[in-house]
Amino acid sequence: MSSITLLALDTSTEFCSVAVYRHDPAGGVPALMVERHLDTGPVSSTHILPAARDVLREAGVTLAECDAIAFGAGPGSFTGLRTACGVAQGLAFGAALPVVPVGTLLACAEAARALRVDTRRVLVALDARMNEAYWADYAWDVDAGDWREVQAPSLDAAEQVRTPDAEFVVAGNAVTAFGERLQAALQAQAVLADAMPRARYVATLAARAFARGEAIPADRAMPVYVRNKVAQTTAERDAIRQAASHGPGKEAP
């Protein structure tokens, strides 16, 4: 990989995560990662720009010295995805830089490999609220040194998440949210609930994508929602509460 400097943003979860990635193998500069990963809840928008200023200052680079701005494109929190995309676009327009959208589920797979270096297959499953999970299936391509998408990001009930056809680990917080309802996790080699989207993994994936020529103009950047429906209706919420109150195997009166 040639010399590259990236600013990466992710607000797809309750964390505001910002990182600077810098690598210059020709100049003998080792890879540098400076990150702020803050538990901000639903108010990431008030923290993201100060965090970006902090990591740029700590890394000793200016925004103008970056080659691109990467962001966690989704799926994830609707508000969070819009925040990361909008800030990435605004900074990119101001500095005349391209952007690199990175899938948040792919970032979870990258996190799993960072936590467990021998990982070759990752089933990613995140709590999507509304009784559903965002999920995808990725395989590590040894020859390419990158991920191959086996199953594109999808949205289903936890029981409908499909088990990979090879040994695998599960990444993401869906196991914590759904327990044994995520039946695929029962067959996994390991469950890595902490393998979640964050800026350092977005940056690492974006560096590879940038090297492949996958950066795009800022005005083409868009969040990846997967779900088009933001909230349940009152009737749907009542039905879920009623089903939960009767428990499994009980009939409603």
Q: What's the CATH code of the domain at 47?
A: 3.30.420.40
Domain assignment present for 229: no
Residue 239's pLDDT is: 53
Residue 63's pLDDT is: 97
Same domain, 66 and 184: no
The letter for the amino acid at 13 is T
Residue 25's pLDDT is: 74
Same domain, 98 and 212: yes
Total tally of structural domains belonging to the chain: 2
* Residues whose CB is less than 8 angstroms from the CB of residue 207 and which lie 6 or more positions away in sequence, other chains included: 1, 4, 6, 21, 23
Count of alpha carbons within 13 angstroms of residue 108, beta-carbon side: 35
Residue 234's pLDDT is: 45
Same domain, 116 and 94: no
Domain assignment present for 17: yes
Same domain, 100 and 158: no
Same domain, 180 and 66: no
For 205, the domain range is: 4-104+197-220
Residue 27's pLDDT is: 62
d(CA 22, CA 24): 7
Same domain, 181 and 201: no
Q: Which residue has the tokens 């090879």?
A: 166
Counting Cβ atoms within 10 Å, is residue 20 exposed (0-12), middle (13-18) or buried (19+)? buried
Domain assignment present for 45: yes
Same domain, 54 and 124: no
d(CA 85, CA 219): 10
Domain assignment present for 119: yes
Which residues of the chain, if any, have pLDDT below 50?
229-234, 236-237, 240, 247-253
Domain assignment present for 76: yes
Residue 91's pLDDT is: 98
Domain assignment present for 241: no
Same domain, 61 and 136: no
d(CA 38, CA 16): 5
Domain assignment present for 88: yes
d(CA 88, CA 80): 12
